[in-house]
Amino acid sequence: MSLIRFSAVSSKFLGLSAAVMLLGCASLVAEIMPQVEPKTDLAAIPAGRYEMDASHANVTFEINHMNFSTYVGRFNKISGSLDFNANTPATSTAEVKIDPASVDTNNSVLEESLRGSKFFDVKAYPDLTYKSDRLEITGPATGKLYGQLSMHGVTRPLVMDVTFRGGAKNPMTGDFTLGFAANGTLKRSDYGVSSYVPLISDEVTLLFNAEFTKK
């Protein structure tokens, strides 16, 4: 066997061995780590400030494209915080900040268009924010979050339907972690973003999923 061929075979063997070892370690960690069972009882949630774990969070949007399909995009740079009041959970507040220049549609041409003056106009309006005003608790793990969405230089009320996925100590980090999902619907023309309406829907659905860690 030539030296080159031997080296290639050796590299493949080492790569396969490393993959097997990694899978074995992952399986071992999964067996050692306890199953996480987040609790939705608000009285059991520690009060205080929580910061969004951006590596376990996403904001996506859906919009009707010419009645042919529902087009989906996302923002890759987001941050946020939550101040939880254990005595009166309904007075808890949240804030999410989005960088509209981080819009991602898996289409570079469309992304450049969305960053331009016909849509987000990111040079003039570099931030997109949502700040809550109040929380209406509608069930054991559901609520309506009333707040203000600021986009494209316009601030308007936006109600988000929220599902609380629960809180527990993260066995990987040791941090107490909360999980949420939320969605809301807006008209982009209300924010001065009306290009191609009604060919491309005026109505946009925002979807939010995130973990917040106790600080």
Q: Is residue 64 part of a domain?
A: yes
How many domains does the chain fold into? 2
Are 17 and 50 in a shared domain? Answer: no
| Chain mean pLDDT for the chain | 89
> What are 13-67's pLDDT values in tens digits?
455 555 545 455 444 455 566 688 898 998 889 999 999 999 999 999 999 999 9
Instruction: Round to whole Å and give the CA distance between 128 and 94.
Output: 14
Instruction: Round to whole Å and give the CA distance between 179 and 204.
Output: 24
Are 20 and 64 in a shared domain? Answer: no
Are 99 and 149 in a shared domain? Answer: yes
> What are 86-102's pLDDT values in tens digits?
889 999 999 999 999 99
pLDDT of 124 > 70? The answer is yes
Q: Is residue 37 part of a domain?
A: no
pLDDT given for residue 53 in this prediction? 97
- Listed in sequence order, the residues at least 6 apart from 126 whose beta carbon sits closer than 8 Å to its beta carbon are 99, 100, 101
Residue 190 belongs to domain spanning: 42-214
Are 18 and 66 in a shared domain? Answer: no
Between vectors from CA 204 to CA 83 and to CA 211, what angle results, nearest 5°? 30
Q: Which pair of structure tokens corresponds to residue 127?
A: 């931030």
Cβ atoms of 121 and 105 within 8 Å: the answer is no
Query: What is the rounded average pLDDT of the residues 172-187?
Result: 96
Are 20 and 88 in a shared domain? Answer: no
pLDDT given for residue 95 in this prediction? 98
DSSP 3-state of 62:
strand
Residue 126's CATH number: 2.40.128.110
